[in-house]
Amino acid sequence: MSVFEKTVHKAFTELPIVDISLLFSDDLNKREIAASSLDKAVRETGFLYLKGHQIAPSLINDLKEVVKEYFKQDQNSKMKNYIGLSKNHSGYVPRGEEGFYSTDSQKPDLKEAYDIGPDSPSLMARFEKEAFTQWPKDGAFKKSVSAYYNAMLELSRVLFQGFALALKLPENTFTQYLTTPPSQLRLIHYFDNPEAEESDSGIGAHTDYEFFTILLPTAPGLQVLNGANEWINVPLVEDCFVINIGDMMEQVSNGQYVATSHRVRQVKEERYSFPFFSSLDYETVVAPISKFVDKQEVSSYEPIICGDHLLAQTIQTFSYLKEKSARGEVNLPENSRSLLSFGQAAIKEG
C-alpha cells in the first residue's frame, strides 16, 4: 500500500489491547515501541483498549460515585443547570436535546448527560469571550469531576505525543497546540430498560469530532463498525479505557488514521459512560500534514479550524443552539462540514 492510500479497517471481531506504559519512559526508543503498537491497532481497527495509562483507580471511583448521585435527582433539580443556560456549553443535557444521533425524532436516544468544558476559551469562544463552566451546587461533584477532567487532559497530552510518534512525526507535532483546548468531558447516563430490543438506541451511529476520545464505560452496549461493515460488540475490559479515532485525526493524517463509526444499543441495565473528547487549541488550523499528501493529489480534506469544527457540529445537533441560530444569536462558522462527513462510511461514499 502506498503511504498515501487511505486506510481501510480490517474485518476485526474484537478490539486490540495496547499497553502504553512505555510512553511514560524517558527513553525515546521505548516510547517509539509503544507508539508502533498504537499505530498498528489504529490502522487495523481505529478503536482499541488502552492499558498502562497510570490513571489512579480512586479518581475513577470518585467520578462514578458523584455522577450516580447527580443523576438520581429529580428532573427539575437537574434542569436548574440546563446546558442552554450556560455560556460555554456546559451543564445538564436532557433526553431529546440532541437531534443528531437518533434518526427517529419520535424515539430520542435513551440517555441524559452532563457536559463539562473548560472555562473560556471554550467551544463558544467565538461568541463568549468570558464564560465559566456551569456546576451543580454539590461541591463534591465539582471536585471529583474536575480532578478527572484534569487527569484526562494530561493523559491526552501523552497520547498526542504517542500518536505523533506513531505517525513518524516530531513528538511535539500536536502538543505545541495544546495549551487551552476546548476539550469536552461528557458524563452520560443511559436509562435501564430491561425490555430493550436490539434496535433501541442509546446513541445512534456517529464518529467523534475531535482527534481521539478516551472513553470509560461502565457496562456493555457500545458497538463499533468494522471494515466489513459489521457491528462488533465492545465488552468491558478491566482497568482499560477505550480509545477511538475522531474526525480531526483523520483530517491531519489525510485518511491514514480513519475516524471509526460507533453506536450504543440495547442497554438493558443502567449504564454510565464518560467520554473525554481530546481536542487541540481552538484556533489550530487542522489540515493534512504534507508528508501524507501526494504532490499530484488534491486532498479531499479542506483545512478546518479546530474549534470551529467542534462548534459547527455542536450547533447542528443541540436544540438550544439550533434555536439560538434561528434567532441569529449564534451562526455556523464559514466552511462548516455537514454531519457525518468523516469515517469509513464517508470515505466509501466519497
Ligand X SMILES: O=C(O)CCC(=O)C(=O)O
CB of 302 to Fe ion, least distance (A): 23
Could you say whether residue 265 binds ligand X (CB under 6 A)?
no
Q: Where are the beta strands (DSSP E) in the chain?
A: 17-19, 47-51, 91-93, 111-116, 184-190, 201-206, 212-217, 222-225, 231-233, 241-245, 262-265, 271-278, 285-286, 304-305
- 217 makes contact, choosing from Fe ion, ligand X, none, with CB < 5 to 8 Å by partner type, with ligand X
Cβ atoms of residues 149 and 232 within 8 Å: no
The Cα angle at residue 251 between residues 116 and 342, in degrees rounded to 5: 75
The reply to whether 264 sits near ligand X by the rule CB under 6 A is yes
Rounding to the nearest 10 degrees, give the CA dihedral for residues 161, 165, 171, 173: -90
The residue (of 40 and 68) whose beta carbon lies closer to ligand X is 68
Q: Compare residues 160 and 274 and give the one whose CB is closer to Fe ion.
A: 274
C-alpha span between 315 and 309 (Å, rounded): 10
Which residue lies nearer to Fe ion by CB, 136 or 202?
Answer: 202
Contact pattern for ligand X over residues 80 through 119, marking x by CB under 6 A:
----------------------------------------
Copy the grid coordinates of residue 338.
455537514
62 vs 109, beta carbon nearer Fe ion: 109
Q: Is 222 in the site for ligand X (CB under 6 A)?
A: yes
Q: Which residue is nearest to Fe ion (CB)?
A: 208
C-alpha cell, 140: 463534591
Tell me how far apart the alpha carbons of residues 88 and 129 are, in angstroms, rounded to a whole number: 9
> Residue 348 corresponds to which amino acid?
K
- Binding flags for Fe ion, 182-221, as an x/- string (CB under 5 A): --------------------------x-------------
- Residues contributing to the site for Fe ion (CB under 5 A): 208
Interacting residues toward ligand X by CB under 6 A = 186, 188, 203, 208, 215, 217, 222, 262, 264, 273, 275
